[in-house]
């Protein structure tokens, strides 16, 4: 049985859904990782216990794909969210998974991290009242000026939409963004009419509808493309010194992607060992809502586009000269995927990932 434990951090922070931490069994760059009696290398993973973002870590842990590569994933839960970006940068946290805005802002402020993989894309929608839904189904570039929008700070859908709106010529100074402390408070603000619409993640699609609101538009459908959410982060030293270990980790996550795409029943059976979300709700999130896409691909093009959108919308310094692509290491994921394709060249899911993978980004 997988070991499950609890880690407590000191301060609240942005949404970390997956952490592989050097606390306990893992090691910082240059140190030797502990092994089990069977000779497996221990990798300690802190994964959120709700929603779909942890699927790519939970499935290999309980499906024992980790053991195929000489690893032993130990899942740990988060008591309180933490500001672990500094710990990741220093190597105290081995691998951290976050929604995109916080780590990209951290890098923009002069810090050094490496993005080596992805976890999920999209998963955001605009909600409003039934009375206002027809208006929001129109051309949003003509609708949004003069409106008040409820959002959460660092919400990936909000940032992706802002960047797209600027590129469409919308003056964001004519839009009022009301930052609230949680998706639940966004839902409440829309209900009360203190905002015209809100942007929420997929975990709140159904609760919003149950409270009489309408999910009118997926952000992905508005902007016409996928946008990044949670990425896998490591320190530069760990990326260099633990390259081979991370290749094995990525192989396990890629195999989990294959199961997620081809075997929903097995995915949900494995997930229920760890994830506390109601099975019906988890099935809806993963397979029915039509928006969420889990992928271990680092998505360097998506990172570049998202970062440029952050600059264009004023979310970070518009004059930032940081080349965000220099903070993305695609070599680990590339090697893992190539190795798996050599082992199973006819695997349709591996071929799909290969078709989606970009080693470099096309810059504007």
What residue ranges define each of the domains in the chain, with the CATH number in brackets? 4-121+228-356 (3.40.190.10), 124-223 (3.40.190.10)
Say what the pLDDT of residue 34 is: 85
pLDDT of residue 18: 54
Q: What is the pLDDT of residues 159-190, one digit of tens each?
A: 999 999 999 999 999 999 999 999 999 999 99
Split at pLDDT 50, 70, 90, the class of 9 is very low
pTM, full prediction: 0.90
Phi first, then psi: give them for residue 295, nearest 5 degrees. -160, 135
According to the model, what pLDDT value does residue 118 have? 94
Query: What is the C-alpha to C-alpha distance for residues 55 and 294, in angstroms, rounded to an integer?
Result: 8
- In whole angstroms, what is the distance from residue 194 CA to residue 179 CA? 12
101 contacts 39 by C-beta, under 8 angstroms: no
Does 33 have pLDDT greater than 60?
A: yes
pLDDT, tens only, 303-352: 999 999 999 999 999 999 999 999 999 999 999 999 999 999 999 999 99
What average pLDDT does range 30-59 have in this prediction?
Answer: 79
For residue 74, pLDDT over 80 is answered with: no
Q: What pLDDT sits at residue 91? A: 79
φ, ψ at 121 (rounded to 5°): -130, 155
Q: Report the mean per-residue pLDDT for the chain.
A: 88
Q: pLDDT at residue 191 above 60?
A: yes
Length of the chain: 364
Which among 361, 343, 359 has a CA at the least distance from the CA of 254?
A: 343
Best mean pLDDT range from 17-21, 75-79, 330-334: 330-334
pLDDT at 82 over 90: no
Could you report the per-residue pLDDT of 267-278, keeping only the tens digit for each?
999 999 888 888
Looking at residue 295, the DSSP 8-state letter turns out to be -
Q: What is the DSSP letter of 286?
A: I
Angle between helices 348-356 and 331-343 (to 10 degrees): 150
Question: What pLDDT does residue 19 have?
Answer: 54
């Amino acid at each position: 049985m997988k070991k499950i434990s609890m880690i407590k951090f000191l301060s609240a922070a942005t949404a970390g859904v997956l952490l592989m931490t050097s606390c306990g069994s893992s090691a910082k760059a240059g140190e030797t990782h502990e092994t089990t009696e069977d000779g497996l290398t221990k990798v300690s993973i802190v994964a959120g216990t709700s929603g779909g973002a942890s699927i790519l870590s939970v499935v290999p842990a309980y499906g024992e794909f980790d053991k195929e590569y000489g690893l032993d994933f130990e899942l740990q839960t988060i008591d309180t969210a933490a500001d672990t970006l500094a710990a990741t940068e220093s190597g105290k946290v081995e691998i951290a998974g976050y929604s995109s805005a916080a780590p990209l802002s951290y890098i923009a402020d002069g810090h050094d991290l490496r993005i080596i993989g992805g976890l999920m894309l999209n998963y955001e929608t605009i909600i409003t009242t039934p009375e206002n839904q027809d208006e929001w189904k129109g051309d949003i570039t003509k609708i949004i000026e003069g409106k008040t929008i409820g959002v959460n700070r660092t919400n990936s859908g909000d940032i992706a939409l802002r960047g797209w709106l600027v590129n469409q010529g919308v003056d964001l100074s004519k839009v009022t963004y009301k930052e609230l402390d949680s998706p639940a408070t966004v839902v409440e603000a829309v209900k009360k009419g203190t905002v015209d619409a809100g942007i929420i993640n997929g975990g709140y699609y159904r609760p919003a509808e149950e409270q009489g609101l309408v999910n009118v538009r997926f952000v992905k459908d508005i902007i016409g493309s996928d946008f990044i959410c949670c990425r896998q982060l490591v320190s530069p030293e760990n990326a260099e010194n633990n390259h081979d270990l991370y290749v094995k980790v990525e192989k396990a996550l890629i195999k989990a992607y294959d199961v997620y795409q081809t075997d929903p029943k097995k995915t949900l059976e494995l997930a229920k060992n760890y994830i506390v979300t109601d099975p019906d709700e988890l099935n809806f999130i993963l397979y029915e809502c039509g928006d969420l896409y889990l992928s271990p691909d680092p998505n360097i093009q998506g990172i570049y586009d998202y970062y440029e959108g952050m600059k264009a919308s004023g979310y970070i310094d518009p004059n930032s000269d940081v080349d965000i692509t220099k903070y993305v290491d695609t070599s680990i994921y590339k090697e893992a995927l190539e190795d798996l394709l050599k082992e199973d060249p006819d695997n349709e899911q591996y071929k799909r990932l290969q078709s989606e993978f970009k080693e470099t980004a096309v810059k504007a």
